[in-house]
Amino acid sequence: MLASQWTLDPAIDFLNHGSFGACPRAVLEQQQRWRAQLEQNPVQFMKRDLETLLDTSREQLAAFLGAEPASLVFVRNTTTGVNAILRSVELKPGDELLLTSHAYNALRNAAEFVAARRGAKVVTAPISLPIESPEQIVESILSHVSRRTRLVLLDHVTCLAGFILPVARLVHELDRRGIDAVIDGAHAPGMVQLNLTSLDAAYYVGNCHKWLCAPKGSAFLYVRRDRQAALRPLVIGSGANDMRTTRSRLHLEFDWTGTDDPTPWLTVPAAINHVGALLPGGWPAVMAHNHALAVEAREVVCRRLGIEPPCREEMMGALAAVLLPNGGHEPQGEPFTHDPLQAVLYDRFKIEVMVVVWPEPRRRLLRLSAHLYNTPAQYARLVDALAESYTF
């Protein structure tokens, strides 16, 4: 079974890959080999070898993403990448940062923080659930663009509802208006096919530790060439006054922001190669398998509970969300916080799955993840547990 490739506890039905990912055994072993090499001679590794090692890893990741290595740097997570962008972009009083109502909480917090410091404003384009088509998303976002819009921040795959935004069309429409897009692709690498060169967004950030299954602390920031000169890392380190001309200013500053563990970044190629080899068709087959399993999981839940899915299956990847019926008791928590049902499912049934309070309509949103180690039987057990623990 493919589940044997991971170190996950077999006593738990782990249906929440979307939160932090899960790293296969072979990839963790490769990371440990990198760590052992580092500790054999830290000076040799950090001062003499690391730049070349990072370049090699970057080249392999760039090939997977359809990007040029010169436009790619490693960061710890998408939150770090988005913050670096927002801190680097020049904002004037009255400028607007446009987000959607599905924006990831950390992205929204970063936008609010920077806007408050610069006298700018955060504007939200609402996207309702359920949603009928991608055209609704495009219409809502573009209708909230104004002459003051400076940046539009978009989740490629929305964190909670799990639907895919039509980012290629939105980037094109925004570019026609002279507006840069920041794409938060936290869930996209390894879930959907990417070609960042063709997408041509000003900025794209993505996690490698989620659907690519690389170690925690591995993510990337892509910045188009015409936006590279102004981009600075959150931590200004020794690369800021490195006068070498053999490396780009972007790489000099981002590749070294102080002593840290670089092994998650160096292990990204191992994750790409290992997970891509688990099915005969490589990564296209992995993505297709995970999508089909997520669709099946959603269908099992919706059919058993008699509810409608919130979006068409072609709008989703390997995340599937459903709005649970209230059953006479509306959720009482704050929007987007975990509902007590999540703890019940884990404590009583050993099922790890996300349940949050959705604001409008005020319902419990159940988010399902699907990766190679999951099986249809796990989702069937989830439905049994829901029926036993929750009154619909």
Report the pLDDT averaged over residues 277-294. Answer: 98
Give the integer Cα–Cα distance in Å for 155 and 167: 8
Q: Of 122, 106, 136, give the one whose Cα is nearest residue 219.
A: 106
CA distance 245 to 183: 30
For the cut 60, the answer to whether the pLDDT of residue 223 exceeds it is: yes
Confidence of residue 361 (pLDDT cuts 50, 70, 90): confident
Give the residue among 364, 351, 298 at the shortest CA–CA distance from 163: 298
Concatenated DSSP letters for 324-340? E--TT----S-TTSBPH
pLDDT the model gives residue 36: 98
Residue 391 has a pLDDT of 64
* Distance from C-alpha of 233 to C-alpha of 75, rounded to nearest angstrom: 9
Residue 328 has pLDDT above 70, yes or no: no
What's the whole-model pTM score?
0.96
Identify the pLDDT of residue 392. Answer: 56
Residues 6+ positions from 303 with CB-CB distance below 8 Å: none
How far is Cα 247 from Cα 295, in angstroms, rounded to an integer? 45
Mean pLDDT of 237-253: 94
* pLDDT tens profile 24-72: 999 999 999 999 999 999 999 999 999 999 999 999 999 999 999 999 9
pLDDT for 333 equals: 81
β strands within the chain, DSSP E: 13-14, 72-75, 96-100, 121-125, 149-155, 180-185, 203-207, 219-223, 319-324, 351-352, 354-358, 363-369
Pick the more confident residue, 209 or 391: 209
- Closest among 167, 171, 172, 215 to 188, alpha carbons compared: 167
Q: Hey, what are 98's tokens?
A: 């446009």
- Closest listed residue to residue 170, CA positions, set 202, 131, 192, 218: 202
Is residue 166 scored above 60 in pLDDT?
Answer: yes
d(C-alpha 76, C-alpha 95), whole Å: 29
Residue 284 has pLDDT above 60, yes or no: yes
Domains and CATH numbers, the chain: 2-22+280-389 (3.90.1150.10), 26-275 (3.40.640.10)
